[in-house]
Amino acid sequence: MSTYRKTDSDPRATEFEAAGLRWLADAGGAAVAEIVDEAPGVLQTRRVDDGAPEPAAAEAFGRSLARTHAAGASHHGCPPPGFDGDGFMGRAPLPLRAAKTPSRAWGEFYAEDRILPYLRTAVGNGSIDTAGAATVERCADRLAAGDFDAPQPALVDPAGAARLHGDLWSGNVLWGSGGTVGTLIDPAAHGGHAESDLAQLGVFGAPHRDRIVAGYDEVSPLADGWRERVGLHQLHILIVHAALFGGFYGAQTARIAARYA
């Protein structure tokens, strides 16, 4: 049996990832890397050899991802079951809240827990300048005010949240030999808005992303105006990259935030 072994100096990181993999697998939607063994700081999964997806496989993945999201979560920012405390997105902390805040809508959650926690670090490493920081803050103010709140896709219970992978850039979907399987790896799983996962697929150019979205929309129609919100939902992964790696990610974050500021 071919496996992939991951180690981390912080055992909470692998614990969080394992909890996320189990939660996503329980949804019965998109395929998820199978956990073979785990210990503090160590996670071993069955290896998936990455291949090139065919358009039909991309559409099938979109339909299965819609079912994963539809399995739901109790609220925005909730952790996977069995995990307490903040999670991780790469090496960056990921704020999670086990208890639901009744009045907190998606925009408030997204501003408070997915944008602003990373701004100071991105400013400190020089990737976001003073003007850019002001732009990001204005965008966050509009988010918190509910200016961009929108319905979830049709299959997601509007009383809760979608069950997100949470770090769904193209490298975290492996297609298997022959391009027939889209398998999720390396999640930062939490409750949120389904459009966030779909938007993240476009940050680094997922293959056949338009077909993925078409398959998704076929079984769980997206809310009106979703295309105009793609950049907004990409801000989280971008500002995390700005905080971790600096460089042009900060300028890209500020540039996209300006569209919504």
pLDDT along the chain (261 residues), means of 10: 80 96 98 93 88 88 98 96 94 92 90 98 97 98 97 96 97 79 94 98 92 97 98 98 96 98 95
User: Do β-strands 42-46 and 3-7 pair in parallel, antiparallel, or remain unpaired?
Assistant: antiparallel
Residue 42 lies in a domain: no
Q: Which domain holds residue 139?
A: 48-260
Residue 146 lies in a domain: yes
Looking at the structure of the chain, the number of domains it has is 1
Tokens representing residue 46 in the block: 């069955």
pLDDT of residue 180: 63
Residue 74 lies in a domain: yes
Give the other-Cβ count within 10 Å of 205's Cβ.
9
pTM for the model stands at 0.95
Q: Give the Å distances, CA to CA, from 202 to 4, 15, 170.
A: 26, 28, 8
DSSP string over 128-177: S-HHHHHHHHHHHHHHHTTTT--PPPTTS-TTSBEEE-S---GGGEE--G
Residue 228 lies in a domain: yes
User: Do β-strands 31-32 and 183-184 pair in parallel, antiparallel, or remain unpaired?
Assistant: parallel
Q: CATH number for the domain including 154?
A: 3.90.1200.10
Residue 77 is given by DSSP the state: T
Residue 4 lies in a domain: no
